[in-house]
Structure 1
Amino acid sequence: MRRTLTMAQCSMLPHRPPLHAWSRGGRLQLLICMVAYILGFAWWSPTRAQNAAHQRPDVLILLSYHPGHSWEDRILAGINEWQGNGESRPIFHTEWLDSKRLPGPAQYDNVLNYLTQKYIDKRFDLVLTVDDNALAFVARNPQIFGNPPVVFSGINGSPGDLIGNMTEVTGILERFDLSRTLHTALSLHPGTRRLVFVTPEDDVGVSMRNDINTVMALEPAGPIVEHWITPELLAIKDRLKEKTQETLLFVLGAIPARKGFPPLEPEEAVSFVRAATDLPVYTDLDTSVGKGAVGGYMDSGIETGRLQAAMAQKVLSGIAPSQIPYVRKTPLALVFDYLELQRLGLSKQDLPSGSTFINEPASIFDSKYRKPLIIFSVIIATLIACLAALVIRSRVLADRQRALRYQATHDDLTGLPNRHELPQLFRQFDRTAEREPVALVMLGLNRFKLLNSTYGHAFGDTVVRAVADRLKAWCSRHEALSRFGGDSFVIVSRLGDDGALNDLCTRCEDLFSTPLSINGQHISVSAAFGISIANPPQINLENMLREADTAMYEAKRSGNTHVVTFDRCLFERSARQFQIESALPDAIAKGDIEIYYQPIIDTQRGCIAGFEALSRWKHPELGMIPPPEFILAATDSGHISKLTQYVLRQSCEAFRPHLANPECPYLGVNISVSDIYTGDLPNRLAEILKETGMPASRLILEVTEDMLLHDENSAIEVLAQIRSQGVRIAIDDFGTGYSSMGYLSKYQVHLIKIDRSFVQNIATSSQDQKIVRAISSMARDLELSIITEGVETTEQSDLLRKMGCLLQQGYLFGKPQPAAQWAVNANRAPAGRATQSVH
Structure 2
Amino acid sequence: MPMPMPKPRAWRWLACLWLACTCGFATAAAVESPPAAESARAQVLVLLSYHPGFSWEERILAGLREWGGAGEQPVFHVEWMDAKRHPDAAQRQRLTDYLGGKYAGQHFDLIATVDDDALAFVMQHASLFGDTPVVFSGLNAAPEPIIGTRPNVTGILERFDLTRTLDIALKLHSRTRRLLFITPDDDNGAALRDTVDAALLRLPGHPAVEHWRTAWLEQVAPRLSRLPGDTLVFALGSLPVRAGELPLEPELVSAWMRTHTELPVYSDLDTAVGHGAVGGYMNSGLETGRLQAAMAQRLLAGEAAASIPLVRETPLALLFDNAELRRLDVDMRALPAGSTLVNAPPSIFAREYRAQLLAIVVVVLMLLLVVVGLVVRNRMQAARQRALHHQATHDELTGLPNRSGLAEQLQALPQAAAEDEQVVLVMLGLNRFKLVNDTYGHAFGDKVLVAVAGRLRQCCGERETLVRFSGDAFVIMARLPDAAGLQRLHALCDALFLQPFLINGRRIPITAAFGLSSSPLLGLVPGSLLREADAAMYEAKRNRGAGLVVFDHGIHERAARQFRIEAGLPEAIEHGQIEVHYQPIHDIQRGCIAGYEALARWRHPELGWIPPPEFVRAAVETGHIGALTRCILRAACRAFLPHLGNPHSPYLAVNVSVSDIYASDFPAQLAQVLAEVGMPPQQLVLEVTEDMLLGNQQHVATVLEQLRGQGVRIAIDDFGTGYSSMGYLSSYQVNLIKIDQSFVRRLLDSPPDRKIVRAIVSMAGDLELDVVVEGVETGEQIELLRELGCRLLQGYVFSRPRPAAEWAADAQAGCGTLP
What TM-score do the two structures reach when normalised by structure 1? 0.51
Q: CA deviation at 1:701?
A: 0.8
Distance 1:125 1:793 in 2: 69
Distance 1:835 1:521 in 2: 51
Distance 2:770 2:503 in 1: 48
Which of 662, 668, 671 does residue 677 from structure 1 map onto?
A: 662
Partner of 1:49: 123
Which of 464, 488, 491 does residue 506 from structure 1 map onto?
A: 491
In structure 1, the gaps of 5 or more residues are 1-16, 60-84, 88-92, 94-118, 127-309, 321-388
Partner of 2:536: 551
Q: How many residue pairs get matched?
A: 510
> What percentage of residue pairs aligned between the two structures are identical?
53
Question: 2:496 matched to 1:422?
Answer: no
Distance 1:454 1:562 in 2: 25
Contact 1:829–1:835 under 8 Å retained in 2: no
Question: 2:781 matched to 1:826?
Answer: no
CA gap 1:50/1:564 in 2 versus in 1, 3 angstroms: same
Return 405-414 or 395-404, whichever deviates more: 395-404
Which of 424, 431, 442 does residue 415 from structure 2 map onto?
A: 431
Distance 1:748 1:544 in 2: 51
CA gap 1:536/1:782 in 2 versus in 1, 3 angstroms: closer
Task: Give the partner amino acid of 1:682.
Answer: P
Which of 579, 586, 590 does residue 601 from structure 1 map onto?
A: 586
Which of 727, 737, 740 does residue 722 from structure 2 map onto?
A: 737
Partner of 2:685: 700
Distance 1:732 1:517 in 2: 30
Q: CA deviation at 1:728?
A: 1.7
SS at match of 1:530: strand
Partner of 1:667: 652
CA gap 1:481/1:734 in 2 versus in 1, 3 angstroms: closer
Task: Give the partner amino acid of 2:422.
Answer: P
Task: Give the partner amino acid of 1:425.
Answer: Q
Q: CA deviation at 1:668?
A: 1.1
Question: 2:566 matched to 1:584?
Answer: no
Q: CA deviation at 1:38?
A: 7.4
Contact 2:123–2:150 under 8 Å retained in 1: no
SS at match of 1:635: helix
SS at match of 1:678: coil
Question: 2:529 matched to 1:566?
Answer: no
Task: Give the partner amino acid of 1:695.
Answer: P
Equivalences for residues 228-247 of structure 1 within 5 A: none
Which of 683, 702, 721 does residue 706 from structure 2 map onto?
A: 721
SS at match of 1:485: coil
Q: 1:206-248 deviations in whole A, cap 9, x for unaligned?
A: xxxxxxxxxxxxxxxxxxxxxxxxxxxxxxxxxxxxxxxxxxx
Q: CA deviation at 1:722?
A: 1.7
SS at match of 1:547: helix
Equivalences for residues 621-640 of structure 1 within 5 A: 621-640=606-625
Q: 1:354-404 deviations in whole A, cap 9, x for unaligned?
A: xxxxxxxxxxxxxxxxxxxxxxxxxxxxxxxxxxx9xx9899865797366
Q: CA deviation at 1:594?
A: 1.7
CA gap 1:396/1:508 in 2 versus in 1, 3 angstroms: farther
RMSD: 5.1
Q: CA deviation at 1:523?
A: 7.6
Distance 2:768 2:501 in 1: 47
Q: CA deviation at 1:702?
A: 1.1
Question: 2:517 matched to 1:532?
Answer: yes
Distance 1:821 1:604 in 2: 25
CA gap 1:806/1:122 in 2 versus in 1, 3 angstroms: farther
Which of 518, 526, 535 does residue 541 from structure 1 map onto?
A: 526
SS at match of 1:504: helix
Contact 1:452–1:459 under 8 Å retained in 2: yes
Q: 1:298-343 deviations in whole A, cap 9, x for unaligned?
A: xxxxxxxxxxxx9x999963699xxxxxxxxxxxxxxxxxxxxxxx
Distance 1:723 1:679 in 2: 15
Question: 2:731 matched to 1:657?
Answer: no
CA gap 1:813/1:464 in 2 versus in 1, 3 angstroms: closer
Q: 1:772-808 deviations in whole A, cap 9, x for unaligned?
A: 5554444344333333334445565566567664443
Q: 1:399-450 deviations in whole A, cap 9, x for unaligned?
A: 7973665544444444554323433321211222242221123233444333
Q: 1:651-706 deviations in whole A, cap 9, x for unaligned?
A: 12222323344443321111122321233422332232233232322221111223
Q: 1:11-62 deviations in whole A, cap 9, x for unaligned?
A: xxxxxx9xxx99x999x9xx99xx9977567568799435689899779xxx
CA gap 1:414/1:776 in 2 versus in 1, 3 angstroms: closer
SS at match of 2:662: helix
CA gap 1:120/1:649 in 2 versus in 1, 3 angstroms: same
CA gap 1:409/1:770 in 2 versus in 1, 3 angstroms: closer
Task: Give the partner amino acid of 1:835.
Answer: T
CA gap 1:461/1:687 in 2 versus in 1, 3 angstroms: same
Contact 2:798–2:818 under 8 Å retained in 1: no
Q: CA deviation at 1:595?
A: 0.9
Partner of 2:737: 752
Partner of 1:339: none
CA gap 1:448/1:732 in 2 versus in 1, 3 angstroms: closer
Partner of 2:817: 835
Task: Give the partner amino acid of 1:49.
Answer: M
Q: CA deviation at 1:451?
A: 3.5
Contact 1:556–1:562 under 8 Å retained in 2: no
Task: Give the partner amino acid of 1:433.
Answer: A
Distance 1:476 1:631 in 2: 41
Equivalences for residues 295-314 of structure 1 within 5 A: none
Partner of 1:182: none
CA gap 1:479/1:55 in 2 versus in 1, 3 angstroms: farther
Partner of 1:440: 425
Equivalences for residues 108-187 of structure 1 within 5 A: none
Distance 1:517 1:771 in 2: 28
Distance 2:550 2:791 in 1: 50
Distance 1:626 1:533 in 2: 31
Partner of 1:450: 435
SS at match of 2:482: coil
Distance 2:615 2:747 in 1: 32
Q: CA deviation at 1:562?
A: 4.3
CA gap 1:488/1:745 in 2 versus in 1, 3 angstroms: closer
CA gap 1:678/1:433 in 2 versus in 1, 3 angstroms: farther
Q: 1:65-110 deviations in whole A, cap 9, x for unaligned?
A: xxxxxxxxxxxxxxxxxxxx987xxxxx9xxxxxxxxxxxxxxxxx
CA gap 1:315/1:783 in 2 versus in 1, 3 angstroms: farther
Distance 1:661 1:516 in 2: 53
Contact 1:425–1:480 under 8 Å retained in 2: no
Q: CA deviation at 1:712?
A: 1.3
Q: 1:135-168 deviations in whole A, cap 9, x for unaligned?
A: xxxxxxxxxxxxxxxxxxxxxxxxxxxxxxxxxx
Distance 2:750 2:502 in 1: 45
Q: CA deviation at 1:820?
A: 1.4
Distance 2:371 2:499 in 1: 42
SS at match of 1:500: helix
Task: Give the partner amino acid of 1:419.
Answer: R
CA gap 1:470/1:827 in 2 versus in 1, 3 angstroms: closer
Distance 2:729 2:590 in 1: 27
Distance 1:122 1:522 in 2: 64
Contact 2:772–2:792 under 8 Å retained in 1: yes
